[in-house]
Structure 1
Amino acid sequence: MGIVQPESRRGFLRLAGGAAVAVGASGLITANAAATPGRHRRVPREHIGIQLYTVRSLMESDPQGTLNRLGEIGYATVGVSGLYGHRPQEFRAMLDTAGLRAVLTHLSLDAIRGDWQQALADAHVLGVQSVVVPSLPGELQNPAGYRQVAGEFNVAGLAARKAGLRFLYHNHGFDFATVDGEVLYDILVEETDRRLVNFELDLYWAVDGGYDPVDYFRRYPGRFPVFHVKDMAADGSFEDVGHGTLDFPRMFAERRSGVREYVVEHDAPADPLNSALRSYEYLSTMRF
């Protein structure tokens, strides 16, 4: 079975060029995503967070100092990406000391296939609202695999709901591949029960996969309670939020998304804390 990848955003940017990039040929991108006159809504500061994967190199050596600095920058929440050798109780204590609230934790597909009840109990200790599967392995990246996973997600989502938690899936670019005429991501959205399974939409990876997040908000309203707010440089690489090409005001303005939490992420920052600061400064002052 062959995989047909949509045209990459790098290709789009090369073809668009010059003024077309500034305008954003599909409305996905803009040369400057800063707030414009007439926009009055803002991202609630108590819902601005950062995925700790962004600062993973610092969390390895100085977790408390790193968390403290994120709180000082102004972040209210974090997305947990592993506990760096600490027990859930210890990690929660570090978050409390830093004045941060964990809103989600990333857990592998193996976690839902293993001692899921213990994973949910640990999530409660961290104080999160959502448990998130962050990726699927290559052997499942076909329609049959995604249908299998959709069934597993419904079961895991029911257990999470009974435990008072929300179950989400986080996408990458490969989730938007078309295989045998079907978009893999659409299989997950359409074959999961919206009462049990919803989505942490990584905006960068959706655009990189060739799709407009706003289209998904309109097609599947209310199913995207968390955004991974990640920006794209002109060459298609990662960029600090507000310093790249993605038109976040346009995306955020679509109320049908159902978003509650805005979680900054940069996969490969040269200076993690400076990246965190620049992204926060933009997100906390933008209007849409």
Structure 2
Amino acid sequence: MTNRRAFIKNTGLLALSLPVAKTNFFTAPAHKLPAFGIQLYMVKEDMAKDAPGTLKKLGAMGYSQIESYGSDKGMFWGMSNKDFKKLAGDSGLMLISSHYNDEPGGFEKQAEKAAEIGMKYLICPWKGPQKSIDKFKEFADEFNRNGEICKKHGMRFGYHPHDYPYKKVDGQLPIDVLLANTDKNLVDFEMDFYYTVTEGQDPEAYIKKYGDRFRLCHMRDVLKQRLPKNSEEESACDLGQGIINYAHLLATGLDNGMKYFFVEQSRYFHETPLQSAKINIDYLKKLKLAEI
């Protein structure tokens, strides 16, 4: 617990948690997010019960982009790719991307279906912790191959790091190895600000160092008062209720090629997932991004 609190002091991230009004650097709004997106995993129970109704509610809140995932019914929720696209579109939602699982027909079949309806990305959501850094080099080769497949179909391939790529293996950070060993013309990354911060890394430094490698992101906040390690999503909270200065980070992202911004949260307090989705988008609607 003590070590996880200490990262705020030791990594220079305290500046990212300062209230906007208390420093002149963060006062002048430069731009706004181009669109508000949400990862459907956040509302998976609602989607399983009533996909049309859930999408309609998300659209009414003001979300205009969605990212799907490899649910039990697949990334198109038991529908054809075209039917799901139409269902989302009827609620004013564009299906930008999806996390994928291994499915019959392999990765290329999924890429074909995604490209057919104009999706921009297929994203690997998980590889898990590994005992050797060489495994991450193997993953990088796999990502490059998948990137070639996506490119052939007019799409992009991405990888979504969780916490484990920010934990050293053989003296190296897997995230650095993956960035170094993937082709920037084939593989993009989807930063999860929550995991980057809670693992003691500086998301702004990564964004600036690697430029437009981070084209997508997941957004949730980190509690000021940290919860015990290993509790479920131990320190996640709604946007604006924690330490992350999104006014600054999102402006940095936009200035460095980040295009897609998805709310994604899997720990809730008194809110239902849909209520939490509303709290998050209301925060983003009011957020004035800092001038970088």
Same fold (TM over 0.5): yes
Q: In the TM superposition, what is the alpha-carbon distance from 1:127 to its structure 2 partner?
A: 3.0
Spell out the pairing of 1:250-269 with structure 2 (5 A cutoff).
Answer: 250-254=248-252, 255=254, 257-269=256-268
**SS class of match (1:96):** helix
**Of residues 49, 61, 77 in structure 1, which corresponds to 2:65?**
77
Q: In the TM superposition, what is the alpha-carbon distance from 1:247 to its structure 2 partner?
A: 1.2
Report if the CA contact (8 A) 1:50-1:265 is conserved: yes
Spell out the pairing of 1:45-84 with structure 2 (5 A cutoff).
Answer: 46-81=34-69, 82-84=75-77
Q: For the residues of structure 1 that align with 2:126 and 2:20, how far apart are their CA atoms?
A: 28
2:80 corresponds in structure 1 to 87
Q: In the TM superposition, what is the alpha-carbon distance from 1:28 to its structure 2 partner?
A: 5.6
1:43 corresponds in structure 2 to 32
2:5 corresponds in structure 1 to 13
Letter in 2 for 1:30: S
Q: Does 2:228 align with 1:230?
A: no
**SS class of match (1:168):** strand
Report if the CA contact (8 A) 2:98-2:121 is conserved: yes
Q: How many residues align?
A: 271
Q: Does 2:173 align with 1:186?
A: no
Q: 1:95 to 1:187 in 2, by over 3 A?
A: same
Q: In the TM superposition, what is the alpha-carbon distance from 1:15 to its structure 2 partner?
A: 8.0
Cα deviation code 1:81-115 (max 9, x no counterpart): 2333333222212101111001111113x35x962
Q: For the residues of structure 2 that align with 1:131 and 1:239, how far apart are their CA atoms?
A: 27
Which consecutive residues of structure 1, in runs of 5 or more, have no partner in the other structure?
1-7
**SS class of match (1:104):** strand
Spell out the pairing of 1:177-216 with structure 2 (5 A cutoff).
Answer: 177-216=167-206
2:280 corresponds in structure 1 to 279
**SS class of match (1:259):** coil
Q: For the residues of structure 2 that align with 1:164 and 1:51, how far apart are their CA atoms?
A: 22
Report if the CA contact (8 A) 1:217-1:256 is conserved: no
Q: Does 2:231 align with 1:240?
A: no
Q: In the TM superposition, what is the alpha-carbon distance from 1:217 to its structure 2 partner?
A: 1.3
Report if the CA contact (8 A) 1:227-1:263 is conserved: yes
Which consecutive residues of structure 2, in runs of 5 or more, have no partner in the other structure?
70-74, 227-233
Q: In the TM superposition, what is the alpha-carbon distance from 1:151 to its structure 2 partner?
A: 0.5
Report if the CA contact (8 A) 1:150-1:188 is conserved: yes
Q: TM-score, normalised by structure 2?
A: 0.84
Q: In the TM superposition, what is the alpha-carbon distance from 1:199 to its structure 2 partner?
A: 0.3
Letter in 2 for 1:201: M
1:107 corresponds in structure 2 to 100
Q: For the residues of structure 1 that align with 2:15 and 2:127, how far apart are their CA atoms?
A: 26
Q: For the residues of structure 1 that align with 2:48 and 2:20, how far apart are their CA atoms?
A: 33
1:4 corresponds in structure 2 to none
Q: For the residues of structure 2 that align with 1:99 and 1:166, how far apart are their CA atoms?
A: 23
Q: 1:28 to 1:266 in 2, by over 3 A?
A: farther
